[in-house]
């Protein structure tokens, strides 16, 4: 008798800063995104779990480059997909992504599914209109406490990490 492993679903949202201040780091972040994609493909193939990836880039505007793409179908991100320009609407990008992720995923059993929001940014919020600091802080608190949700920040400089510490990213 064989015991089949119950598969899980990971909804992985990557929020990547494409503002002008990222100009000297964009190549490195693009390589990191492609490394993430490679690892996600390998893990999904190895475990049989379903991994759905969404890629959101932002500067002054928020752009959904990928939405719910299965890991095995992930493309290679090039400079056509992800390049620097514009200001930094960090709070709007994170807040909008959390809202859209919650809507897209809906209610779920955290034993079978999870949501991961990974933010790559150097910080330096200077262009958001919808989400102000206190609103984003409250939203982060709400979703970081939900079972099955993880929201993380990877900062490229000290000031970015300080900004996110103030927002109480875990």
* Predicted local distance difference test score (pLDDT) of residue 1: 55
Nearest-angstrom CA–CA distance, 110 and 74: 24
At 33, list the tokens: 């995104």
Question: Residue 4: pLDDT above 70?
Answer: no
Q: What is the CA radius of gyration of the chain?
A: 16
* Predicted local distance difference test score (pLDDT) of residue 94: 95
pLDDT tens digits along 94-106: 999 999 999 999 9
At 116, list the tokens: 């991961």
Considering the entire predicted model, what is its pTM? 0.92
Query: How many other CB atoms are there within 10 angstroms of residue 85's CB atom?
Result: 13
Mean pLDDT of 153-169: 72
Nearest-angstrom CA–CA distance, 123 and 120: 9
pLDDT tens digits along 48-91: 999 999 999 999 999 999 999 999 999 999 999 999 999 999 99
Residue 4 CB partners (closer than 8 Å, separation 6+): none
Among positive and negative, which fits the CA dihedral 106, 66, 116, 159?
A: negative
pLDDT tens digits along 17-32: 999 999 999 999 999 9
């Amino acid at each position: 008798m064989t015991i089949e492993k119950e598969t899980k679903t990971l909804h992985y949202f990557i929020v990547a800063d494409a503002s002008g201040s990222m100009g000297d780091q964009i190549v490195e972040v693009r390589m990191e995104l492609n490394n993430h994609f490679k690892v996600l493909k390998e893990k999904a193939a190895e475990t049989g779990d379903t991994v759905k990836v969404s890629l959101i880039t932002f500067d002054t505007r928020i752009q959904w480059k990928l939405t719910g793409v299965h890991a095995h179908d992930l493309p290679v991100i090039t400079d056509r997909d992800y390049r620097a320009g514009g200001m930094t609407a960090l709070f709007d990008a994170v807040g909008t992504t959390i809202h859209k992720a919650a809507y897209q995923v809906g209610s779920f059993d955290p034993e079978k599914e999870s949501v991961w929001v990974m933010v790559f940014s150097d910080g330096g919020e200077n262009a958001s209109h919808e989400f102000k600091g206190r609103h984003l802080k409250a939203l982060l608190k709400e979703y970081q406490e939900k079972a099955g949700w993880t929201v993380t920040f990877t900062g490229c400089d000290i000031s970015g990490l300080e900004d996110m510490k103030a927002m109480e990213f875990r």
